[in-house]
Structure 1
Amino acid sequence: MKLILTADVPNLGAPGDIVEVKDGYGRNLLLPRKLAVVATRGAEKQVAAIQRAQRARQIRDLGHAKEVAGELQALSLTIKAKSAGDSGRLFGSVTAADVVDAVRTAGGPALDRRTVEVPGQIKTVGTHKVTVRLHPEVTTELDVNVVAS
């Protein structure tokens, strides 16, 4: 099945890439999650628009990615969870979008939530490690302190 990716799919490609995948993978995973569209003549014309939008959001180059990683390392991130029980367990969890908001609040660079990888779910108060993939060659880890409000 020939598809055009609309989002970054690990181990497959970036937005705008035309890929050939097995029918089941395309039908059952990529298409329902809106990660890809079927490659038709009309859709292939939209590839340029998708790639332009991606380049606007993307880190410019390796040097810029290292610069942004340095900025992120200098930040002290604290996320105030809505509520927690007596044992420190949160009612809910901290998501990648919460981490991006905390970076923005701390005066850091604008990040896309899809570049932030939260290991499992953060469901307890304390310090947790979060990975940010800025460039295929540059990843950085952030310490996120979760406190109950």
Structure 2
Amino acid sequence: MQVILIQDVDNLGGANELVAVKNGYGRNYLIPKKLAVEASPSNLKQLEEKLKVKRKKEEKMMAEINQVIAKLQEGPISLGAKTGTSGKIFGSITTLQISRAIREQRGYDIDRKKIHLNDEVKELGQYKATIDFGNGKNTELVFDVVAE
């Protein structure tokens, strides 16, 4: 028996996936618990439409991510920090400060959890951070730490 999974099922497959199962397992467990529906021609058409819509959304999202990456790579972002006489920063630069600087200088709101610092930022200078957008897309962001 072939069924279309509505939800992820351990050791079987993910949502919107067509799988072959034994008749009893499909009729007595998956379908009554609303984990799957029978793979009828109408349900297969609905699945195809869902997958088509999902692909279009992913393509649109990838285009937006590419646009954001291009905007972020235009040049370094400046971060102001209070420093002592030797050029050391009081405290350190955090991902929250980088996120705010991106919002102010480039106009994009990037979650601070997606930003990963390559080094600790405790002195003035130029540094790099990695921004992970998910879906295998990431970029390096160059930022300058300058004295306020």
Aligned position for 1:134: 133
Letter in 1 for 2:83: A
Partner residue, 1:123? 122
Preserved contact between residue 71 and residue 106 of structure 2 (Cα < 8 Å)? no
Higher normalized strand content (fraction of residues):
1
TM-score (structure 1 length as normaliser): 0.55
Instruction: Give the percent of matched residue pairs that are identical in Structure 1 and Structure 2.
Output: 30
Return the letter of the residue paired with 2:125. G
Alpha-carbon distance, 1:63 to partner: 2.5
SS at match of 2:66: helix
The whole-number CA distance in structure 1 between the counterparts of 2:107 and 2:74 is 9
In the alignment, residue 80 of structure 2 is paired with which amino acid?
K
Shift of 1:68: 1.2
Residues 71, 108 of structure 1: 8 Å contact kept? no
Gaps of 5+ in 2: 1-7, 11-59
Q: Structure 2: how far apart are the matches of 1:79 and 1:63?
A: 28
Note if 1:76 corresponds to 2:49.
no
Q: Which region of structure 1 is more displaced relative to structure 2, 105-114 or 67-76?
A: 67-76
Task: Return the alpha-carbon distance in structure 1 between the equivalents of residues 127 and 114 of structure 2.
Answer: 17
Task: Find the aligned partners of 2:63 and 2:100 in 1 and give their Cα distance.
Answer: 24
Asked if the contact 1:100/1:113 (under 8 Å) is kept, the reply is yes
Inter-partner Cα distance in structure 2 for 1:75 and 1:102: 13
* Residue type at the aligned position of 1:112: D
Take 1:67 and 1:107, find their aligned partners in 2: how far apart are those partners?
12
Once the 2 structures are TM-superposed, how far is the Cα of residue 86 of structure 1 from its aligned partner? 2.2
What are the ranges of 5 or more consecutive residues in structure 1 without an aligned counterpart? Answer: 1-16, 20-59
TM-score by length of structure 2 reads 0.56
Question: 2:132·2:138 contact (CA, 8 Å) conserved in 1?
Answer: yes
Partner secondary structure for residue 70 of structure 2: helix
Q: Residue 61 of structure 2 aligns with which residue?
A: 61
Equivalent residue, structure 2, for 1:145: 144
Partner of 2:107: 108
Name the aligned partner's letter for residue 142 of structure 2: D
Look up the equivalent residue of 2:147 and give its one-letter code: A
Greater relative CO (CA pairs within 8 A, separation 6+): 1
Q: Is the 1:100–1:112 contact (alpha carbons within 8 Å) kept by the matching residues of 2?
A: yes
Larger Rg: 2
Q: What is the RMSD of the two structures over their aligned residues, measured on CA atoms?
A: 2.5
* CA offset digits 1:69-108 (Å, max 9, x no partner): 1111124310000x21222111100000100111111033
Question: In the alignment, is the contact (CA less than 8 A) between 1:62 and 1:135 conserved in 2?
Answer: no
Aligned length: 93
